[in-house]
Amino acid sequence: MKAYQAVSETAIGGREADAACFRLLLIELEKARDNADPVVRSAVLDKHQQMWGLIMRANISETGAPTPQEDRELFIRLADQAQRYGIKMLVDSSLSIEPLIEIARNVLEGLEATSVVESDMSYDVF
């Protein structure tokens, strides 16, 4: 979670920081998928749970950058689903990590698409 805090404190914008965090999360989740060691899997799931907890708290409160209500509700639902499945995985080691990878990948793709659109729009002012 130090990585999340470090990225969020840099000069890059909110969505860019969020995308960077999801890139890091994907690396960790894929590492757990490719490693049979239960200690590695547990450590990655712990990071996963912490990150989604931060995202949920950030979207429940209205502090920080203004985020449309619809987006906040979507992030809260995704955080809830991801955390619930993460808890199931902590209890049942036979469950696949792929659903968590898929959620993170989908969020990252959405953040990257939004960043590109916002970037393109900033040039339209000139």
29-75 pLDDT, tens digit each? 999 999 999 999 999 999 999 999 998 998 888 666 677 888 889 88
CA distance 22 to 103: 10
Indicate the length of the chain as a whole number: 126
How do residues 111-123 score in pLDDT, each as one tens digit? 898 765 555 544 4
- DSSP label of 114: H
How do residues 26-37 score in pLDDT, each as one tens digit? 999 999 999 999
- Can you read off the two tokens belonging to residue 57? 């708290």
The model's pTM is 0.77
**Res 124 pLDDT > 60:** no
CA distance 101 to 16: 19
Helix (H) or strand (E) holding 79: helix 69-91
**Res 84 pLDDT > 60:** yes
DSSP conformation letters of 2-70: HHHHHHHTSSS-HHHHHHHHHHHHHHHHHHHHT---HHHHHHHHHHHHHHHHHHHHHHHS--SS---HH
